[in-house]
Structure 1
């Protein structure tokens, strides 16, 4: 571990008036992690020889995809070069946050630990959908917002145009928008000075019982759970006994300190400071995000207001290719949950795929990231079934069922089906408005409003069923707008919809892995598509195999895999026709008997091909990651 530079202030000795807690929020690929790199270099907490790109992105998958998945907090010293404070050293606690819509819950937790935020916008692309979403989140938390345009060194940059767009959105002057280049470092010093000048110092009562908010926790294989906190009131010291206010669990503080950017132990953390705690706990669930920490003796009575629990939006079945890998998959999911509070799963079985887990995700990218980590870090080969959302099915007899898997869809008389809907924001050049409207209407969307951000950029707000977004909506949006549109969405309750369950039957037997819950108008298209695909994928048997798509007891589509037929007439060189007919009839009877006792062999490759190409199981997530 690199030595901490001598100019990093000791966590326990910093006055709250000299502390500034801020985070960087932006759309994907607008330069958050690169700006964080420049700040680490300028403040001297990372030496030049140890510097690497995306320094705070620790996971391989983050570095390869160029996205941030986990928030990272880091403490930096900074003496302003201008302003009223002169050259007094300040402590800047910066939190680098994810930009993807699937990880908004990480962003909201980070905002609660800050007093200000840098709203970063690409000077070549302008405001995107996730920029707006993050801006509204920051406004809800009542943070000081510093508007910044990044990538001003690009030939395609239009800083003046986008500065006025940003100023109009926030309600400031276009001259107040700072212009930086995170790549070259231009303007980053002025930005750090602006953080000191504009962001308010944290406010708290130093001599009251300690109250610290947990905003993140990660699992370290050697040290157990590392809990990231912001101290609001009082002070927490080393070797103190602490109590978690929501669970009532008590622990001893084995180590306390700040990240700068490596762990830097200290004697304690005071008002407004952001740092880490280690208690030796081995289960992240005992260190609940949003909980309040206080002292065991003479502790606080009132906890701090926490966060909403992240709820899974999309469910998918994960099955090992080799059934004997089931225990390894269970252990791998247990380990991943230590670092990901939003991951939920339960065991399930499928007649076609064997033993596996029904896993809840925040979105398609979350699914894609978890699946890739399971395959890469634990060496597992997996099949993921098509993603599903949660439905509520009300029956005519008054019973209510919650359905996360098509196989759970109840039989009998259905009164109504409730499906989740989202409020989506789409931003694109105005020339693509017609194409976007056509796409949204084909996905059962209803227009809620439309605003022009500037002469050639428009914001559309649609209410869309979540089920229509989780398949291939993003791919279709990008292809219709030549890649210029951006999408953000958030849950917005549920609506009653005319939904049915489409079953796929092989020789009259239902195959649960291929079942799907779709809108009544799209049931026929789904049935025909799956039946045609399976006809190509299932190898020919000794007997004819009918592939049927059914809604309830009604068959809506059918394809047939023809039987392999031996040429029984090969040696009949003539003679009476009745001899040939007798041989053919004998063969026909044999085929009929075989059809009764024979079983359809569906190879594993057919399941993988049918599920991956149908469900948007890989492609949509990859496309979103590259947004």
Structure 2
């Protein structure tokens, strides 16, 4: 065990984590020159296209220093705040972390929040100044920021460059010298914590875990503590570039288990694996529950695909433990799911992954939160969907969830951030300075206001420098009304929303204008109205039109016309018939980007 090191890489988005991980794999000869490619560990197409890490990736490296062989288990983590749950899980499986700071940009919000996550778990932090080869690097300034933040010495900070490979041998030496080997007793009963899992269509569900105590052998009867299920370990092994089977994994090692599990609900991230014959006395603690920020409905375009969508969501949840969902139904869209996401990017990625990995075309509704409605008789209704709100005549009052929000930012952005929070019905409770130029602002505000675009706006006005966290503080009474959007007189329940009375008129007008731009012109006139109850507060009209796609094909092969007609057909499938007006997916999403 003394020659094992488990560590992860944490940083703000785009500070060069994946590039540095590539160099580590190259220098330790974990991958051959033939297999080498950029962003080696990002194996999803989406990650490569967008240049971001979405999933944590674990890989084992072998390295020799001073004649001794060491085993290094690396976990490359995402940098975007929407995937911070991935980071918290990776940290739970490590004893040390490489804190990477871009020498051209300095310390940013996610660096700070990921660092706090690591410090809570008592990890050994190795600060690294990356991108030193760039002409815009400011090593001295950024070094001072790092020293202020973690209180290390200047000589502890390793200058490096993931692009040129500068400083990588020093990083490997620092990992071995500074990060403590894992603690644990190989003779004790087996205790292993699952930190990730993936679905493989041939082998079933593969769980990744770190062995805290004891050892796990091929063929053992194992038990998952939280679900109480028992399995036989058909294959155990370590994670190299491909999975590498082994006969036994002892305390301190990170590996995988295949036991033919078919049902996604049987594997919970954060669960403890133990042996049936010699079980451990308690499960491993220290795993936080995910807090969804945004709720939205996801529906199949074709109602017959509901069961397929359920399977796809189950498999996706395995791979993305921060996704929360439950079944719901809507008059316009049929059966679907109400899902909880960590943010707007997370929601976008989930929708994209459903389409790419499971070939499911879905419709996403307007995100919202859950309310409590009290009738004049005193009955309570929990409203998850605006359609569930009781009739206005029977309604006494509505309560909405409030949160206590904490924003950490640089002092120069206090003004714009306060303006933003007050515009979102927030009340400033407190502000105090953490250092000379970093301040923490505490607000109380309705959860519904942060659901849409609060987070994106906060990032924009603070140049990516504000980190945001919140916790619920209960429900409070509010003056809320249900805003309906009608197309040719028919209400579209997927577009209706509960909104504060003061903002309803402005919001209704904006949605009508936006829908006018987005609704494709039909062969009949479309009237778009926003109404509260029976009172129409805004109206727009889309003029009629006839469209002939094959007009430009004169003569030639029939297949040319067919190609155009097929293309048109595909576009139609993407839309959803609501009454007799087709609403494109972009219209459901546009409501989020009104400003």
With normalisation by structure 1, the TM-score equals 0.81
Query: How far off its partner does 1:435 sit?
Result: 2.9
Q: Could you say which residue in structure 2 is the equivalent of 1:163?
A: 143
Q: 1:29 to 1:398 in 2, by over 3 A?
A: farther
- Work out the CA distance in 1 between the residues paired with 2:190 and 2:526: 74
2:52 is equivalent to residue 72 of structure 1: no
- Work out the CA distance in 2 between the residues paired with 1:35 and 1:611: 39
Secondary structure of the residue aligned to 1:93 is strand
Q: Could you say which residue in structure 2 is the equivalent of 1:390?
A: 370
Q: Could you say which residue in structure 1 is the equivalent of 2:281?
A: 301
Q: Could you say which residue in structure 2 is the equivalent of 1:144?
A: 124
Q: 1:510 to 1:162 in 2, by over 3 A?
A: same
Of residues 419, 425, 439, the one that matches 2:407 is 425
Q: Could you say which residue in structure 1 is the equivalent of 2:553?
A: none
- Work out the CA distance in 1 between the residues paired with 2:542 and 2:252: 73
Of residues 441, 465, 487, the one that matches 1:486 is 465
- Work out the CA distance in 2 between the residues paired with 1:358 and 1:60: 26
Q: 1:298 to 1:124 in 2, by over 3 A?
A: same
Query: How far off its partner does 1:540 sit?
Result: 8.7
Larger radius of gyration between Structure 1 and Structure 2: 1
Of residues 39, 42, 54, the one that matches 2:27 is 42
Q: 1:268 to 1:523 in 2, by over 3 A?
A: same
Q: Could you say which residue in structure 1 is the equivalent of 2:424?
A: 443
Query: How far off its partner does 1:197 sit?
Result: 1.2
Q: Which residues in structure 2 correspond to 1:89-108 (within 5 Å)?
A: 89-108=69-88
- Work out the CA distance in 2 between the residues paired with 1:70 and 1:212: 21
Query: How far off its partner does 1:561 sit?
Result: 4.3
Count of aligned pairs between the two proteins = 556
In the TM superposition, what whole-angstrom CA distance separates every residue of 1:201-236 from its partner, at most 9, and x where no partner exists? 111122111111111111112211111111111111
Higher mean displacement: 334-343 or 232-241: 334-343
- Work out the CA distance in 2 between the residues paired with 1:602 and 1:534: 15
2:157 is equivalent to residue 177 of structure 1: yes
Q: Could you say which residue in structure 1 is the equivalent of 2:10?
A: 25
In the TM superposition, what whole-angstrom CA distance separates every residue of 1:587-613 from its partner, at most 9, and x where no partner exists? xxxxxxxxxxxx9955223x5454222
Indicate if the aligned counterparts of 2:398 and 2:480 stay in contact, CA closer than 8 A. no
Q: CA RMSD in A?
A: 3.0
Q: Could you say which residue in structure 2 is the equivalent of 1:591?
A: none
Q: Which residues in structure 2 correspond to 1:205-284 (within 5 Å)?
A: 205-284=185-264
Query: How far off its partner does 1:66 sit?
Result: 1.3
Of residues 494, 511, 521, the one that matches 1:513 is 494
Indicate if the aligned counterparts of 1:389 and 1:420 stay in contact, CA closer than 8 A. no
**Higher-RCO chain (CA-CA 8 Å, sequence separation at least 6):** 1
Q: Could you say which residue in structure 1 is the equivalent of 2:342?
A: 362
Q: 1:499 to 1:28 in 2, by over 3 A?
A: farther
- Work out the CA distance in 2 between the residues paired with 1:124 and 1:545: 52
Secondary structure of the residue aligned to 2:539 is strand
Q: Could you say which residue in structure 2 is the equivalent of 1:603?
A: 581
Q: Could you say which residue in structure 2 is the equivalent of 1:376?
A: 356
Q: Could you say which residue in structure 2 is the equivalent of 1:83?
A: none
Query: How far off its partner does 1:90 sit?
Result: 1.5
- Work out the CA distance in 2 between the residues paired with 1:453 and 1:59: 40
Q: Could you say which residue in structure 1 is the equivalent of 2:591?
A: 614
Higher mean displacement: 322-331 or 236-245: 322-331
Higher mean displacement: 170-179 or 35-44: 170-179
Higher mean displacement: 528-537 or 373-382: 528-537
- Work out the CA distance in 2 between the residues paired with 1:211 and 1:72: 22
Q: Could you say which residue in structure 1 is the equivalent of 2:44?
A: 59
Higher mean displacement: 527-536 or 177-186: 527-536
Gaps of 5+ in 1: 1-15, 81-85, 565-598, 621-627
Indicate if the aligned counterparts of 1:501 and 1:515 stay in contact, CA closer than 8 A. no
Indicate if the aligned counterparts of 2:11 and 2:17 stay in contact, CA closer than 8 A. yes
Query: How far off its partner does 1:433 sit?
Result: 4.1
Gaps of 5+ in 2: 545-576
Higher mean displacement: 57-66 or 372-381: 372-381
Q: Could you say which residue in structure 1 is the equivalent of 2:562?
A: none
Query: How far off its partner does 1:328 sit?
Result: 4.3
In the TM superposition, what whole-angstrom CA distance separates every residue of 1:158-195 from its partner, at most 9, and x where no partner exists? 11111111111112223322221111111111111111
Indicate if the aligned counterparts of 2:267 and 2:318 stay in contact, CA closer than 8 A. no
- Work out the CA distance in 2 between the residues paired with 1:244 and 1:26: 32
Q: 1:75 to 1:394 in 2, by over 3 A?
A: farther
Secondary structure of the residue aligned to 1:303 is coil
Higher mean displacement: 365-374 or 511-520: 511-520
Q: 1:477 to 1:140 in 2, by over 3 A?
A: closer
Secondary structure of the residue aligned to 1:279 is strand
Q: Could you say which residue in structure 2 is the equivalent of 1:528?
A: 509
- Work out the CA distance in 1 between the residues paired with 2:38 and 2:528: 56
Query: How far off its partner does 1:43 sit?
Result: 0.9
Q: 1:217 to 1:534 in 2, by over 3 A?
A: closer
- Work out the CA distance in 1 between the residues paired with 2:154 and 2:380: 54
Indicate if the aligned counterparts of 2:326 and 2:339 stay in contact, CA closer than 8 A. yes
